Amino acid sequence: MNFNAFVRLTRLEHAVMLCAAVLIGEVVVLGQLPAPLYALLTFFPPFFLEVSAFSINDYFDVETDKLNGRTDRPLVTGEAKPSEALLIAAASFLIGIAAAWLINTNCFLVALAFGILSFAYSYGLKDVVLVGNLYVAITMAIPFIFGNFAVSKLLNNSIYLLVAIALVTGLGREVIGVVRDMEGDQKARGARTLPMVLGKQISLFFASLLFLLAVFLSIVPFLAPGPFQSNMNYAIPIVITDILLLYVVLRVMFDSQEFLSQARLITLAALAIGLIGFLLGAIT
């Protein structure tokens, strides 16, 4: 397997974003950057557990991805073997859990729970209506809590807001994803995902409402007491994030199936820019 195939199998850009969220959680609590070596250690669990989660997901999803024409997946194109994906998933899981054990008990328990749930999700939890989507959304929010626990036993009030914003945005992305993949999910696994129960348009409307809620919640840290209050370093990136989310809301209900894939990429970019806002706001 070449490096390009490895990156696409494991979605390393997501791993980097999870590490950024952990760092934000640490900075919000500490009011400053943590010690570099300790920060590096706290990146290991989210990074390697993300690699494990996506590898095992593609291992179980290879037939579905073929039906959905996912030529971006290396297991579909033959650039990677299922046995390689399985090995990467197992090794990365062990590294992530071991690193979490070295941090503290709370971080270990969080990492262990979500490491196990990632396998359960790939094996069948994803086919439980909304539950699988909610699980993925939670994995986008939990790194803030992990970062908090890495430096404190108590949850900081500002962390709750960051978790809420990440959760509703992540859930919106997931709903768009299952609408995009509904045909292949049904044919390959007989899955009963949200659009199969509620219909495509209602599901997209639900996703749009979630994005609108995320936009509303993103305003709260700027107004509420805390590190982001009246902080323009937070506000400017968040405004860009909100514009991207609103653009998706305007288009997703009235556009073609092709836009759903674009919407996933746009919202991923929105999340990345939002993380920059959280980090700059927390540091300054």
- Which tops the pLDDT comparison, 225 or 284? 225
| Total domain count, the chain | 1
Q: What is the mean pLDDT of the chain?
A: 89
- Which tops the pLDDT comparison, 178 or 86? 86
Predicted pLDDT of residue 162:
93
Predicted pLDDT of residue 216:
96
**Do the beta carbons of residue 25 and residue 148 sit within 8 Å?**
yes
Mean pLDDT of 98-121: 94
Range of the domain at 157: 3-283
The one-character DSSP state at 1 is -
Predicted pLDDT of residue 30:
93
Predicted pLDDT of residue 186:
62
Distance CA 103, CA 205 (A): 41
DSSP track, 116-176: HHHHHHHHTGGGSTTHHHHHHHHHHHHHHHHHHHHH-SS--HHHHHHHHHHHHHHHHHHHH
CATH code where residue 273 lies: 1.10.357.140
> Does residue 166 register a pLDDT over 80?
yes
Predicted pLDDT of residue 240:
97
In tens, the pLDDT along 89-100 reads 999 999 999 999
> Does residue 87 register a pLDDT over 70?
yes
In tens, the pLDDT along 224-253 reads 888 899 999 999 999 999 999 999 999 987
By C-alpha distance, which of 45, 182, 208, 66 is closest to 127? Answer: 182
> Does residue 46 register a pLDDT over 90?
yes
Q: Which two tokens stand for residue 280?
A: 């700059």
Predicted pLDDT of residue 257:
66
Dihedral, CA of residue 271, residue 136, residue 117 and residue 179, to nearest 10 = -150
